[in-house]
Amino acid sequence: MGRNGDMLEILAKLAVGYIPFLFALCFHEFSHALIAKMRGDRTGEMAGRLTLNPFAHADLVGTFILPILSTVYSFPFFGWAKPVPVSSRNLKNPKVDMFWIALAGPLSNIFLAVVSAVLLAACFSFGQNETLSAASTMLINFLQVNLVLAFFNLLPFHPLDGGKVAERFLPYELNRKMYEHQGTINMVLLFFLMFGGFRLILIPVNFFSNVLMWCATRMVS
């Protein structure tokens, strides 16, 4: 009985915490591949990345092992997927096109966060029972996960999307130096996250989460 209870608790944690993360991550990568195709580069599509199938985007450690362990044992949550390949040679205006391809990922997560708020309002409109309460909890988590992915990836450092977004507005020489020192920047970013930097990301996440939650409640008032 105890084992069955523990297993149900683990499955509930995965349903509420991990499944929303997995879908948000796949939609993020799918959006990169879709916009790349629209801008003239089919590299991501040819690599099988124009799909929501999680196995097409998965990194074994970053998509499955680490996030699942984090969810089950309530560790600080962290994860990633394989980057979508893009060939700038196929783009008509590489600097502008790469900007939109990079921005597509964070914008897709903001879109999903807004959709979550609309669905949350629908749940609230039906009142509350055990099923709707579980659905509301999942939607709230889905909303927050998408905002975390969006604002984290907007940090203006390579290899994050924000680095490519910022690249459009920075002079060539500075962009070149950022690429040359990408390994060092990655280490700085890692230490930034490990020693409290993630709390700074949560500032806009919490603000926009509260705004969307407020909007959800206003839709049914």
- What is d(CA 42, CA 30) in angstroms, rounded to the nearest whole number? 12
For residue 179, the SS3 value is helix
**C-alpha–C-alpha distance, residues 108 and 25, integer Å:** 10
Q: Give which of 105, 97, 103 is closest to 41, Cα–Cα.
A: 97
CA angle 171/176/178 to nearest 5° reads 100
Return d(Cα 128, Cα 217) in angstroms, integer: 13
Torsion on CA atoms 101, 198, 21, 129, rounded to nearest 10: -130
**Please, which residues have CB within 8 angstroms of residue 82's CB and are 6 or more apart in sequence?**
29, 57, 58, 59
Instruction: Please give the positions annotated as active site.
Output: 29
Instruction: Collect all residues with Cβ–Cβ distance below 8 Å to 1 and sequence separation of at least 6.
Output: none
